[in-house]
Amino acid sequence: MRISERLEELYAIGGGPGANRPHGSAGEDEAFEIVAAWMREAGLAVEVEPDGNLFGHVQGSELKTGPVWTGSHLDTVPAGGRFDGALGVVAGIEAVEGAGVGSVVAFRGEEVGCIGSRALVAHDGVLPSVFLELHVEQGPVLERAGAPLGVVTSIAGMARGELLVEGTAGHAGTVPMDGRRDALVAAATEILRIRDAASAIPGAVATVGELDVEPGAGNVIPSRVRLSLDARAPDRVRLDALVQAVGFAPGYRTEPVTMAGEVQSALRAEIEARGLPLVELSSGAGHDAGILAAAGVKSGMLFVRSLNGGVSHCPEELSSEEDIALATEVLVGVLRRLAG
């Protein structure tokens, strides 16, 4: 399968372990050069716009003004997986070539805040009427449902910030346990409280991924702990409720976005036409489709089942060739429907 072979070629960039094409690296640049060659091989007109995003257009259409775009990103986290981002670009080339309509785009820097798609919007670049992103789910929902594909209904909003927990430093050997104000113990209690707050709101998640412990010595009782916070929910009401329940002031926030009904309908029709189970789900991860949707572009996402329990951002990330082939077929059909 050509898609799998091309994904392996991209995966090998950087020498492993895992995919190593972080934004701004030689690996990301190499991937863009390789993909541009594949676009030309497919007979597409290649364009690199000022912010570095790469386009392949069906010959004969005006640059970047085709009615439908598909695509994703080529950068990765360190030691990432084969499929995250790259699948949407590689399968997108196949789909645009097969459908004979539209454009495929490879955005820069998605893993560090959707830099490429944000720049395109901020610099008043020409936007499509419709954008459709094919992506691995990066979670276990489709695998548990026994469904190869899923229709994304929304992309969750996200709030990031930190909490500060104060205590009192002291000698680890001389302060009795019943007389301590250990900031790290208090932080552990806070982490459990945050977990419970998110669990009480359907569809919400919250993560403490970093701890900064002061003074950071093995023989000193911690006096201060900073906890990082990443809180996400499928809609604004639930995101507001989560932020309030956790009790922090976000330093960074993105609002939830709903995928366009027209695109969802086209995806459902193509999935049902193949006799596949229909699963609809919200994306807890941010994507370039969310940036374009927030800018007013009718956007949608098609998820491919992630195996191995849905792990992602690691070498164990896995989707089957059969599921990828189905997704590419559906993508071709949707491009034709939406461009017609």
The reported pLDDT for the residue numbered 65 is: 46
How many residues make up the chain in this entry? Answer: 340
pLDDT at 67: 82
Say if domain 157-253 classifies as CATH 3.40.50.150.
Answer: no
Mean pLDDT of 131-158: 97
Q: What is the pLDDT of residues 276-330, one digit of tens each?
A: 999 999 999 999 999 999 999 999 999 999 999 999 999 999 999 999 999 999 9
Burial of 62 (0-12, 13-18, 19+ CB in 10 A): exposed
Q: Which residues contact 15 (CB under 8 A, 6 or more apart)?
A: none
Alpha-carbon torsion 266, 271, 275, 281, what sign? negative
pLDDT tens-digit series, residues 223-255: 999 999 999 999 999 999 999 999 999 999 989
Terminal CA-to-CA distance of the chain, rounded, Å? 29
Mean pLDDT of 90-103: 96
Q: Kindly report, as residue ranges, where domains of CATH 3.30.70.360 are found in the chain.
A: 157-253
- What pLDDT is attached to residue 8? 97
User: pLDDT at residue 115 above 80?
Assistant: yes
Q: Which fold has domain 2-156+256-339?
A: Aminopeptidase (3.40.630)
143/147 Cα distance (integer angstroms) = 6
SS3 181: coil
pLDDT in tens, 36-87: 999 999 999 999 999 999 999 998 755 444 589 999 999 999 999 999 999 9
Where along the chain do the CATH 3.40.630.10 domains lie?
2-156+256-339
pLDDT of residue 126: 86
Buried b / exposed e along 188-224 (16+ C-beta atoms within 10 A): bebbeebeebbeebebbbbebeeeebbeeeeeebbbb
